[in-house]
Structure 1
Amino acid sequence: MTPTLPTTTALKAQARRLRSALAGQGRPVGHSAALELVAQSHGLRDWNTAAALSAEAAPHWSLGQKVSGSYLGQPFTGQILGLQAKSAGRFGITIGFDTPVDTVRSPHFSNLRRRVSATVTPQGRTVEHTSDGTPHLQLTA
């Protein structure tokens, strides 16, 4: 993985220059194809991975990283299994819990989760909240 990746703005500018150069050679490509080629030129699988790992995008998170926080009010520790850039500066994140988290607060039954996928802000919180105003998922530093 590239240790220092440019910003998404710089990566998009690279894609525009690549499109222009290829069009000049009589091999036009679409913008999304150029973005994919730029990501691959940095040794990454696809554009979503490049955007998620770009300089301005949550550099403190990485695949395989150990994290902790709370999910539906329950504390957890776990590992980042997936990370993806979304629109409006948000990130898709998948966390595998070290120990299953009980998502039900009732003493009468349980619902254990081993992993969760959510969309979070750069601060590591979901926009969605429980009825008491707590974000569904909160990562701690």
Structure 2
Amino acid sequence: MEHALPSRDTLKAQAKRLRADLAARGTPITHAQALETLAHQWGMRDWNTLSARLGNDAPTGFAPGMAVTGRYLGHRFTAEVTAARKMAQGHWQLTLRFDRAIDVVTSKHFSNFRRQVNCTVDACGNSPHKFAGGQPQMVIDPS
């Protein structure tokens, strides 16, 4: 099973933590050595090879604390991402906390307001799940 590579920023942060942990244990290493070690852990010959595999694209995705806007079940919303996990094939599992509750029922006889939802979206912010009319249940606007 192939795992998606993390962003360059994530890898550099991991290297920084690795350096700090090893230094605390009495084995200091340079930042370059930490980057090389991470490259080996990802099955690459060296940091340059891993860095080339990452490409030059700016990191994309979702992170806790990020403010997002979009439509959920056709209702406009503003929300905060409270949890984000990257999944296979570029999908994200998110927990969103809406600034204002959204009625998730279309019945005229009762309502059910939700302030928080869990959803899965692709890299463009569209859920694979559709509701009436074939529209995605969740659409997160591009930032």
- Give the drift of 1:3: 7.8
Q: Secondary structure at the match of 2:41?
A: helix
Q: Aligned residues, how many?
A: 101
Q: Distance in 2 between matches of 1:101 and 1:58?
A: 30
* Structure 1 stretches of 4+ moved >4 Å: 55-58
RMSD: 3.0
Contact 1:82 1:94 survives alignment (8 Å): yes
Contact 1:76 1:99 in 2 (8 A): yes
Tell me the secondary structure at the aligned position of residue 4 of structure 1: helix
> Distance in 2 between the 1:64 and 1:86 partners?
19
Taking structure 2 as the reference length, what is the TM-score of the superposition? 0.60
Which residue number in structure 2 is paired with residue 73 of structure 1?
74
Following TM superposition, by how much is the alpha carbon of 1:87 offset from its aligned partner in structure 2, in angstroms? 1.4
For the 8 Å contact 2:61–2:123, the answer to whether it is kept is: no
Q: Which residue of 1 aligns with 2:65?
A: 64
Report the secondary structure of 1:98's partner residue: strand
Query: TM-score scaled to structure 1, two decimals?
Result: 0.61
Partner of 1:115: 116
Q: Contact 1:72 / 1:130 at 8 angstroms: preserved in 2?
A: yes
Identity of aligned residues (%): 29
Q: Gaps spanning 5+ residues in structure 2: where?
A: 1-6, 12-36, 45-55
| Cα deviation code 1:85-130 (max 9, x no counterpart) | 1112111111001111101122221011111111110000101100
Change in Cα spacing, 1:68 to 1:58, as seen in structure 2 (3 Å) is: farther
8 A Cα contact 1:81 1:96, kept in partner: yes
